[in-house]
């Protein structure tokens, strides 16, 4: 389930990263975690550091971290992505007809 979003931009624009934890059945360690703020600060810093650097070896690539958003923002991004995907499928089906 989503617990936050790392808001980022790359050379192509918005490039958000959803931070999620496994469902209880897979790993009960995160049962009471509802927000990235509940994770150890060092873990959040490590995640942010990774995404700040992960494109360093690619030419003409850049990354800017804009901050963190809460679980609600992450859920909204997921829903928007699902809607965009459905719209794309509908358009593809309409063009094929």
Q: What's the pLDDT tens digit per position in 65-86?
A: 999 999 999 999 999 999 999 9
Size of the chain in residues: 97
The whole-chain average pLDDT of the chain stands at 95
Tally of domains in the chain: 1
- The dihedral built from the CA positions of residue 81, 86, 87 and 93, taken in this order, carries a sign that is positive
d(CA 8, CA 26): 29
Domain of residue 50, residue span:
2-96
Q: What is the CATH number of the domain that holds 84?
A: 3.90.80.10
pLDDT tens digits, 37-47: 999 999 999 99
State yes or no: pLDDT of 96 exceeds 90.
no
């Amino acid at each position: 389930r989503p617990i936050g979003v790392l808001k980022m931009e790359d050379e192509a624009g918005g490039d958000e990263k959803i931070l999620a934890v496994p469902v209880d059945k897979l790993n009960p360690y995160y049962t009471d975690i509802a927000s990235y703020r509940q994770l150890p600060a060092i873990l959040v810093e490590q995640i942010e550091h990774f995404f700040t650097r992960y494109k360093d070896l690619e030419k003409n690539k850049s990354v800017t971290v804009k901050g963190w958003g809460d679980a609600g923002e992450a859920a909204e991004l997921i829903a928007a992505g699902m809607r965009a995907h459905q719209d794309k499928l509908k358009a593809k089906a309409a063009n094929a007809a």
